[in-house]
Amino acid sequence: MLLGVDVGGTFTDAALLTGAGELITAKAPTTSDDQSTGAIDAVQAVLERAEAQANEVQRFVHGMTVGTNALLERKVARTALLATEGFTDLEELGRQARAELYRLCAGHPPPLVPADLRVAVAERTGPVGVLRELDEEPLRARLGELAQEHFDGPLEAAAICLLWGFRHPGHEQRCAELVTEVAEQVHVSSSHETVGVFREYERCATTVVDAALSPPTRRYLGRLLDRAREAGLPAPEVMLSGGGVVDAGTAARHGSWTVLSGPAGGAVGAAYRAGQAGAPDAVCLDMGGTSCDVSVTLGGAVATAGLREVGGRALALPMVDVHTVGAGGGSIAWRDAGGALRVGPSSAGADPGPACYGRGGEEPTVTDANLVLGLLDSGSPLAGGIELDTEAAERVLGRLRAELGLDSIEELAAGMLRVASAEMAGAVRVMTVERGTDPRELALVAFGGAGPLHATAIADELGMRQVVVPRASGVLSALGLIVSERRRELVESVLLAGDELTREAVSEVVARLAERGHHELENGEGSPEIRPAYDLRYRGQAFELSVPGAREPEPSELRAAFDAAHEGRYGYADHDAGLELVTVRVAVAFPGTEPRAAAVGEPEPVGSRRAHLGGESLEAAVHRGRVDRVEGPAVVELPEATLAVPPGWSGGARDDGTIVLERSEETG
């Protein structure tokens, strides 16, 4: 049996794949004070549903939000920064880009390392080697002082980022040894191990985040490991931000690698189901209780990025390319200063949750609106056994209705859904239209507990004609953990151009990174797949495009691939410009599990209820169990989610239960 557990803002999802290929799922409320408690609760729930024992689980894969939450809330370790003399303020200086172009008062987040914890290292390395030897004595003395100072608590971590450390790591390695000698308990993150790319600010910022997040990540994974051992489960593996899985020890050593652990699992699961449904080119929309994550899959592969920001902090790491907005089932509706209806980004979370959960929530949320409009039913408990209270939802919506001066709570609820759907459609535009991709040529894969409720409205907004809803859409992120490959992604900036850019020089770097990745992936059976990619640019350009390539590529092959990529992105290619290879990226991967299609039960009698679909209140068919064919207006109650099908949309289910809807020409 294979087990995946994903922690969300409201629920923790568990998916168990049996040896017979049956997928069994369950949910438990997220325990924000210690996510490991909710994770084990979800495991116990799914094992009970499967009538299985913990010792039958062969593999346990985990997706978490510990690093994300710690970074956004600044609940990080007290961290020092060791930087080359004269460059200790790199993290605070950053780049000159404004946080918001037209708001001069909008600033960047404060640095994680305060000025009194920045250590100037007397050394200097250039592109060809050491220019000034490391002076150890003043460094040792300053480290000793920091180890003794407890004004704001003990020093927990140290980030080491020296100029040209990515190419000549000797001084960084010696600094790490000195930190360990002076303060053995301090975690050390060195830039050449954490990120290994050029651009000193991005490398420094990433290393600082890694150092600051590693102690809380290690503590959390330690608790999870203990709880898993007590429950009889195998040691957990952890999803990284790039969509691959590693052992918990590796994840604990580099907390920055797990910042997008949760969204990565959803993106991988959605890409997997989209490919199975015959829609390898798709927009993947994960709407949970707190937020909505949007990613894109092309050719069945999740789009990734080598540089992005999380919480305003640069991270130069391989990460699933996800855009997040604060629109979820628990997003709170409110009236702004101008009298307009707004939804989110504040969320009711798991505790107390939406008012209709009956746990003391007093703010109107998207889930309350869906219940009032008949898209959810008080007679059908949500996943996790949550009974819905219609009267509580009407009460909190009634207060906001009076503030806005609307005629009915149904009018307010419908407006809330339109506002939330518009917010999510905007996120899809960011990932498609703003990058030169026409969303009308892609399918929309909707998942998460709330995603299928809004899928067709978002598709209508964007002119998309196909919607794919996996049967296990409510826990698809957990399924993504199960099917994810065990993978290490390594990068090295090489800065090769002209006569130095040769097949031999490139293949030597690829071989070295591949060997290192294979060594770090312990317990891998057989030979891994090696997937190189190359960050290239024309001479004189400041930024690169990444293109896949062979393990021993000829420069002419790289040239042709980059020219094509540049023309596709910017509309032209400069065939006469010099070519520069900036960074080599190598993914070393062992394949994930391929679940077999399993029976999804029998169709149940079709009922009906009044529901707000397509802008009006209609009598809608209600489907439960296996759905062979559905035509709008209809509501499909899936095991952990609900699908709204307005008039003009229809479709059917595949063997694995995935529902594929098409929009009629008349609706278009």
Please give the average per-residue pLDDT across 258-282, as a whole number.
90
Asked if residue 632 belongs to a domain, the reply is no
**How much of the chain is helix, strand and coil, in % rounded to 5?**
35, 30, 35
Q: Which two three-digit tokens encode residue 98?
A: 């404004």
pLDDT for the residue 88: 95
Asked if residue 498 belongs to a domain, the reply is yes
pLDDT for the residue 524: 54
Please give the average per-residue pLDDT across 241-260, as a whole number.
91
pLDDT digits (tens, 9 = 90+) for 577-629: 999 999 999 999 988 877 765 556 677 778 899 999 988 899 999 998 888 89
Torsion angle defined by CA atoms of residues 406, 410, 414 and 420, in that order, rounded to the nearest 10 degrees: 80
412 with 491, same domain? no
111 with 195, same domain? yes
pLDDT for the residue 667: 53
Pick the more confident residue, 614 or 458.
458
Predicted confidence band at 329 (pLDDT cuts at 50, 70, 90)? confident
Predicted confidence band at 521 (pLDDT cuts at 50, 70, 90)? confident
92 with 193, same domain? yes
Distances (CA, A) of 206 to 157, 179, 383, 513, 552: 14, 19, 38, 20, 30
Which of these three, 212, 243, 272, is where a domain ends? Answer: 212
- What's the CA angle centered on 502, arms 501 and 503, to 5 degrees? 135
91 with 206, same domain? yes
192 with 87, same domain? yes
402 with 494, same domain? no
490 with 572, same domain? yes
For the beta sheet containing 616-624, the strands, ordered from the edge strand earlier in sequence to the opposite edge, are 607-613, 616-624, 634-637, 642-645
DSSP labels for 79-119?
EEEEEETT-TTHHHH--S--SSTT-TT--PPPPSS-GGGEE
Asked if residue 124 belongs to a domain, the reply is yes
CATH classification at residue 583: 3.30.1490
Domain extent, residue 162, equals: 76-212
490 with 408, same domain? no
pLDDT digits (tens, 9 = 90+) for 116-170: 999 999 999 999 999 999 999 999 999 999 988 776 678 999 999 999 999 999 9
Q: Which residue reads 């707000």 in tokens?
A: 612
Asked if residue 158 belongs to a domain, the reply is yes
pLDDT for the residue 601: 67
410 with 511, same domain? no
585 with 503, same domain? yes
Q: Which runs of consecutive H residues, i.e. helices, occur in 278-408?
A: 366-372, 390-404
Predicted confidence band at 351 (pLDDT cuts at 50, 70, 90)? confident
493 with 581, same domain? yes
Asked if residue 122 belongs to a domain, the reply is yes
Asked if residue 553 belongs to a domain, the reply is yes
Torsion angle defined by CA atoms of residues 207, 213, 217 and 218, in that order, rounded to the nearest 10 degrees: 60
Asked if residue 524 belongs to a domain, the reply is yes
Which of these three, 416, 442, 460, is where a domain ends? Answer: 416
DSSP summary character for residue 450: S
Helix 261-276 / helix 66-73 crossing angle, nearest 10 deg: 130
What total number of domains does the chain contain? 3
Q: Is the pLDDT of residue 98 over 70?
A: yes
Asked if residue 456 belongs to a domain, the reply is no
Q: Is the peptide bond before 352 cis (omega within 30 degrees of 0)?
A: yes
pLDDT digits (tens, 9 = 90+) for 529-578: 999 999 999 999 988 999 999 999 999 999 999 999 999 888 899 999 99
406 with 493, same domain? no
Which of these three, 522, 555, 590, is where a domain ends? Answer: 590
